[in-house]
Amino acid sequence: MPKPIIINNTIKKFDKKIKIEGDKSLSIRFALLASQAMGKSKAYNLLKSEDVISTINCLKKLGVKIQWNKKKNYCEINGNGLDSYVYKKNLTLNGNNSATCVRLLTSLLIGSPEKIKIIGDRSLKKRDMKRIIDPLTEFGATFYPKNKNNLPFHIKGSNYLTPINYVELKGSSQCKSSVMLAALLTNGETKLKCKPSRNHTELLFKYLKIPIKIKKIKNFEIIKIKGRQNIKAFNYNIPSDISSSAFFIVLTLLSNNSKLILENVGVNKSRAGVINILNKMGAKIVLKNKKNYKGEEIADIHVRSSKSLKSINCSSKLNTSAIDEFLIIFLAAAKAKGVSYFKNLEELNKKESRRLDWGSKILRMMGVKNKLIGNHGIKIWGQPNLKLNNKYEIKNYLRDHRVMAMSTIAALTLGGKWKIHNPESIKTSFPSFFKILQKDLGSKINI
């Protein structure tokens, strides 16, 4: 069992430039699309985290040739075109902790003549899979056992796949992307009506010249995709991950007299809601050196300590663009003046752990008054002068990397004596988290 970390000291002031690892959503999407392209595709700065490694390992088991040169920081995937996986008998694919891996990869298996078993870890087994089983069944795949809505399950594909019309109401990019990827293997046009969510898959489809049409109608997007069009091999430089960056942005906001520049971060508007929300709370986060890379917006993020954060009544329109950042946003709200309110966040309790509940629990442990509203909202009574002096222990949180990282940032900015179990959980999304904290920013963490 890896040892817990101990944090007894807040971080000293810093003024630094850092580089965060590659974006997880884009890394997984690159690997999946490259595996369906014709020829050698190459990604620089692919995230070397467990979620991405799980995806690569599944693809290797499906016969895809992959060379990951970690020294030269590139990954080369040799795709054989659409629906070219090698399906062995009794194949088991393990998504470990990654719902993105399982929900997106399963859609590329709808042509499999063999039954494939899909498994995952303790956290992933609790995640809802009905949201992909339903549309993939409509395309023509069969799932076993019948009426089971979570892992483990088996999928068997079909020779007779048909395009579908699908309505996605959760604002889940994983569901949307699952339907979009399955559409690639299907003759004809698949239509999706969906609530907006991160649009990396759409941007990659456009860049790869996959026939896609997108229209906005009121609060929905209508996406149409023509399937069975060959994809050419491609190269991609993965920008830094905004979700990982968010922990360092809030670390800086809540520290004294500090400044930080985070270079080359993906700040696509459908994804970077955290910047919008924190700026509405009085932070002065500035984007410089903005670029457009293959449809994705990229920028350097400049942030400095803030003495005057204020509460927010957060519009639920911002929810999907900051869905992975709410735990760290709740921490900022705990130090803001006034009562903050976040709502319509029922998806938060369906993540790697019940994150809405964990946010409330950790703030309460810190003495910050908060109230859960049903299963979807939280009110947080902020304390601008919040300083902690007690002992705090974080454990049994299903190894949720973001619960771990949020607790670490609380310890480094608010004080107290913290014991945080399962620090290794961070490897799912952000293996260099502690190295940046210790080596680049000089924090004292007992690992």
Catalytic positions: 324
Please compute, for residue 124, the number of CA atoms within 13 A of its CA located in the half-sphere on the CB side.
20
* Residue closest to ligand S3P, measured at CB: 25
Tokens for 162? 């048909």
Nearer to ligand S3P, 261 or 406 (CB): 406
Nearer to ligand S3P, 168 or 300 (CB): 168
Q: How far apart are CA 199 and CA 208, in angstroms?
A: 14
Asked if 236 and 44 touch (Cβ cutoff 8 Å), the reply is: yes
Nearer to ligand S3P, 174 or 244 (CB): 174
SS3 422: coil
Kindly state the smallest distance separating residue 33's Cβ from ligand S3P, in Å. 13
Q: Which of 127, 126, 130, 161 is nearest to 143 (CA)?
A: 130
Nearer to ligand S3P, 305 or 429 (CB): 429
Burial 242-275 (b: 16+ CB within 10 A, else e): bbbbbbbbbbbbbbeebebbbbbbbbbebbbbbb
Kindly state the smallest distance separating residue 72's Cβ from ligand S3P, in Å. 26
Kindly state the smallest distance separating residue 98's Cβ from ligand S3P, in Å. 9
Type of residue numbered 164:
I
Nearer to ligand S3P, 174 or 240 (CB): 174
Which residues sit at the interface with ligand S3P, rule CB under 6 A? 25, 100, 172-174, 177, 197-198, 323-324, 347
φ, ψ for residue 69, nearest 5 deg: -90, 95
Kindly state the smallest distance separating residue 127's Cβ from ligand S3P, in Å. 9
Kindly state the smallest distance separating residue 251's Cβ from ligand S3P, in Å. 20
- Helix (H) or strand (E) holding 58, with range, is helix 50-61
Q: How far apart are CA 256 and CA 413, in angstroms?
A: 9
